[in-house]
Amino acid sequence: MRRTQYSMRPVRSFIPILSIAACSSLILFATFYLSHGGRWRGIPQKIGLGDFIRPQPAKPYYNADGSAPPFNISEFVSGIPKPLGERYSRALVIAKTKKENSSWVDDEVTGWDKAVYVIDDPQAPLHTPKNKGHEAMVYFTYIIDNYDNLPDVMAFMHAHRTGWHNEEIFDFDALEMINHLSMERVTREGYMNMRCLLAPGCPDWLHPGMLQEDGQKKEEFLIAQAWSEIFPDIPVPQVLAQPCCGQFALSRERVLSIPRERYIYYRDWLLRTDIRDTMSGRIWEYLWHMVFTGETVHCPSANACLCDGFGICFDNDAQIDTYYQTMWRIRDAKDELKDWVQQDGILDEDARISLSLDEMEDAELAEGDSKGILLTAEVEEKTAELEKMKQEALKKGEQALWRAYSAGRKYHQGDGF
Ligand SMILES: *[C@@H]1O[C@H](CO)[C@@H](O)[C@H](O)[C@H]1NC(C)=O
Ligand SMILES: *[C@@H]1O[C@H](CO)[C@@H](O)[C@H](O)[C@H]1NC(C)=O
């Protein structure tokens, strides 16, 4: 595409700002570093920068007599879905703060029992023993309190209805995800991450043995220490990965395959740990799959997850890639268009009637107009493409055969989802 006269201006004016920003960050960093005795805040003394030692499996954190809590990690088996047409009892467990508005749960979610825990209000009907560990405290509290009376399927989610960590294909809408969730897949898998898109998290987000703190994922550095307390009998893994964000679904069978005491132990760890609150919650985002699948890396194919899990069936993972690339390109093109308009670009609606993107690229448009017109057309065409892909995927999702295929399951005539 031709470069317009507008594109150079903002770059030049940024240079002085960038240098000032860089200098001040350096000064701030140096002050901070020195004032902390040359150590990053938050790094436990015993794994300070200079003397990193991978923690040995520590003594169990919980049992007073020093014995390891009962813990079998390799016994998970696939669940068997109910006969076609039979109902699943289900509970939606929501972690919320007092100021978050979760009225959508009461108003819009149907067919689910709801358990909305308020983490910072001891007066709330459902609350946690302490406001610590974010949603992890809520999820454990629900399981511990309801262990003997669990529904067939549980979904554990955050209080906000829309958020970037919800699936984009559902317009980031948690309600859509709940409504599409396949009880059968949750039953079969036992544990299902509600996020299908692999990033962030997969294929290898956390390396618990890293020597340096990574500002992007501060939990990484703390996890080695936490691990030896949480899973005292399992060596710290090289890699720990699943799609992000701490929202997932569980079958009753899977929850019950772990003794209640174990959940109490995990929650006690949260209650006692001196790792700061934001981090202890974040650590659990990358441990749920370990608890419920026994796998340190749990990165199912996005197509299997979307198709079998939510009834959105693309042909394969490559087509999902195309879908998301298109979606991200639309977003970028919209941003570029906005910038262009702000820099005095005038969008001449008449100039682009009935020309396709290809035709416009060939047409000799006036220099000043071309960028805006091309971007507008690109957004329109790609948006239509995206919608078409999505509708086709939804249609395929109605067929049990496609769902089985995506997940690599054998399909027999008459099988349900
Ligand atoms: C762990 O698994 C072994 C072998 O399957 C079994 O004998 C043992 O009782 C299990 N322990 C617990 C605590 O479930
Ligand atoms: C919560 O959000 C709903 C819309 O989802 C709105 O109607 C309601 O007024 C909000 N409540 C509060 C207390 O802000």
Print pLDDT tens along the chain (417 aa): 333 333 333 334 444 555 555 555 555 444 444 443 333 333 233 322 222 223 333 333 334 454 444 455 656 888 999 998 899 999 999 999 999 999 999 999 999 999 999 999 999 999 999 999 999 999 999 999 999 999 999 999 999 998 877 888 888 899 999 999 999 999 999 999 999 988 888 888 788 876 667 667 777 778 888 888 898 878 888 888 999 899 999 999 999 988 898 999 999 999 999 888 888 888 899 899 999 998 888 999 999 999 999 999 999 889 999 999 999 999 999 999 888 888 766 655 554 545 556 665 665 555 566 788 888 899 999 999 999 999 999 999 999 999 999 998 888 888 889
Cβ of residue 67 lying under 6 Å from some atom of ligand 1: no
Establish how many alpha carbons lie within 13 A of residue 128's alpha carbon, considering only the half-sphere containing its beta carbon: 30
Q: Hey, where are the domains in the chain?
A: 90-300, 317-407
Cβ-based neighbour number of residue 87 at 10 Å: 9
Asked whether the beta carbons of 114 and 178 are under 8 A apart, the reply is no
From 100, 101, 108, mutation site for ligand 2 pocket: most ligand atoms within 8 A of C-beta: 101
Residue at 72: amino acid letter: N
Q: Which of 46, 54, 44 is nearest to 235 (CA)?
A: 54
pLDDT of residue 3: 37
Q: Which atom of ligand 2 is found nearest the CA of 161?
A: 5
Encoding tokens for residue 286? 């990358």
pLDDT of residue 220: 78
Distance (Å, rounded) from C-alpha 141 to C-alpha 260?
11
Asked whether the beta carbons of 404 and 413 are under 8 A apart, the reply is no
Asked whether the beta carbons of 347 and 340 are under 8 A apart, the reply is no
Cβ-based neighbour number of residue 130 at 10 Å: 15
**Strand bridging mode 248-251 / 191-193:** antiparallel
Q: Judge if the upstream peptide bond of residue 200 is cis by omega within 30 degrees of 0.
A: yes
Encoding tokens for residue 207? 């390396």
| Ligand number nearest to the C-alpha of 75 | 1
Hey, is 249 helix, strand or coil? strand
**Strands, E assignment, 248-295:** 248-251
Encoding tokens for residue 50? 């200079």
pTM of the model: 0.77
pLDDT of residue 178: 97
| Ligand number nearest to the C-alpha of 74 | 1
Cβ of residue 325 lying under 6 Å from some atom of ligand 1: no
Cβ of residue 72 lying under 6 Å from some atom of ligand 1: yes
Distance (Å, rounded) from C-alpha 109 to C-alpha 376?
37
Distance 81 CA to ligand 2 centre (A): 37
